[in-house]
Amino acid sequence: MNWYSCYTLFRKEIARFVKVWLQTVVAPVVTALLYLLVFGHVLEGRVEVFPGVSYAAFLIPGLLMMTVIQNAFANTSSSIIQSKVMGSIIFVMLPPFSEWEFFLAYIGAAIMRGLAVGVGVFLLAIFYVDVPIYNFFIIMLFAILGSYVMGAIGMVAGIWAEKFDQIAAFQSFLIVPLTFLSGVFYSIKSLPPLWYELSKWNPFFYMIDGFRYGFFGQSDQPVVLSFVAMLIAAMGLTFVCMAILRSGYKLRDA
C-alpha cells in the first residue's frame, strides 16, 4: 500500500469537483433548501412525525442525508465515466496504483464531497428552523458510512457504464426512486402494512433512519439495526469493487 500515491489520486479527485464548485456543491445545496422551503411551508403544523418535533425539523436530516449520498454517488460515477469517455482513464491505469489505492482515493473523495454538501445544507437550514443534535458521533458515523456505500455504488456504475446516458438512467431509475421512498419526507410507520414491510428492504432507509436518530434520538427502527445494515452493505460493496478492479473489467480496455 503506497499511501503517497493514494493521497495524490485523492487530491486529484478533490480538485476535480472543487474546480466546478458551483455545480458540485452549491447547486445541490440550493436544491435541498428549495425542498425544505416548499415542503416545510406546506406541511408545517399539519404533520407531526415524532412527538415534539416540528415537520420542518424532521425534514432536515432526511434532506441532508439525501443530498450527501446522492453527491457521493455522483462524484465517483461521473469521474470514472468522464475519464473513460475522454480517454484520460489511461493516465490513472498506467501508474502502478494497487486496487486498494484506487478504491480508497475515489471513495475518500466521494465522502469529502458528500460531507461538504451536507455541511452547506445544514449551515443554511439552521437559519430556517432550530434542529437539535442528540448524538454528533452517530450523525457523522452514518454520514460517512452512507457516503462510503454510495461512493462504492457510484464506482460500480461508472465502471459498468459506457456513456453518460447509462449513468443518468442508473441515477434516475434506481438511486432517486430508492432515495425518495426511504423516508426522507415521512416516517415509514405511516405507510400501509405492505409498503411498510417493503420499505424495510430498502437499504437507503437505514442510511436516513440512523442518521435521523443522531438528531432526535428517535427513529423508525433500532439504530443498531441501521448500523449493522450499513456495515454489511459497505463490506459487500467493498468486496464487489475490489473484485471488479482486480479483473480490470471495462477499465483496461477503456
DSSP letter string, the chain: --HHHHHHHHHHHHHHHHHTHIIIIIHHHHHHHHHHHHHHHHHTTT--SSTT--HHHHHHHHHHHHHHHHHHHHHHHHHHHHHHHHTTTHHHHSS---HHHHHHHHHHHHHHHHHHHHHHHHHHHTTTS----S-HHHHHHHHHHHHHHHHHHHHHHHHH-SSHHHHHHHIIIIIHHHHHTTTSSS-GGGS-HHHHHHHTT-HHHHHHHHHHHHHHS--SS-HHHHHHHHHHHHHHHHHHHHHHHHHTTTTTT-
Range of the domain at 138: 3-247
Amino acid identity of residue 69, one-letter, is I
pLDDT of residue 120: 92
Looking at residue 2, its pLDDT comes to: 82
pLDDT at res. 14: 95
What pLDDT does 48 receive?
Answer: 67
For the stretch 29-44, pLDDT in tens is 999 888 888 877 766 6
Q: Which residue has the cell 442518521?
A: 211
Q: Is pLDDT at 90 greater than 90 in this prediction?
A: no
Whether the per-residue pLDDT at 77 is higher than 60: the answer is yes
On the CB side of 95, CA atoms within 13 Å amount to 13
180 band by pLDDT with thresholds 50, 70 and 90: confident
Q: Which three cell numbers stand for residue 39?
A: 415542503
Pick from 242, 219, 240: nearest CA to 65? 219
CB proximity list for 245: less than 8 A, separation 6 or greater = 99, 102, 103, 251
- 88 located within any domain: yes
Q: For position 103, what pLDDT does the model report? A: 95
Cell representation of residue 231 = 456495515
- Distance separating alpha carbons of residues 131 and 95, to the nearest angstrom: 47
Residue 254 — pLDDT band, cuts 50, 70, 90? low
Does residue 115 lie in a domain region?
Answer: yes
Would residue 114 count as lying in a domain?
yes
Please tell me the number of Cα atoms within 13 Å of 196 on its side-chain side: 9
Q: Which of 12-26, 31-45, 104-118, 183-197 is the least confident region?
A: 31-45
φ, ψ dihedrals at 78, nearest 5°: -70, -40
**Cβ(178)–Cβ(153) under 8 Å?**
no
Query: Would 254 be classed as within a structural domain?
Result: no
Whether 190 maps to a domain, the answer reads: yes
Residue 253 belongs to a domain: no
Answer yes or no: is 252 within a domain: no
Please check whether residue 148 lies inside any domain of the structure: yes
Q: What is the pLDDT of residue 86?
A: 87
Mean pLDDT of 151-156: 96
Segment 183-211 mean pLDDT: 90
pLDDT digits (tens, 9 = 90+) for 1-24: 788 889 999 999 999 999 998 889
What's the whole-number mean pLDDT along residues 132-148? 95
- Give the count of domains, the chain: 1
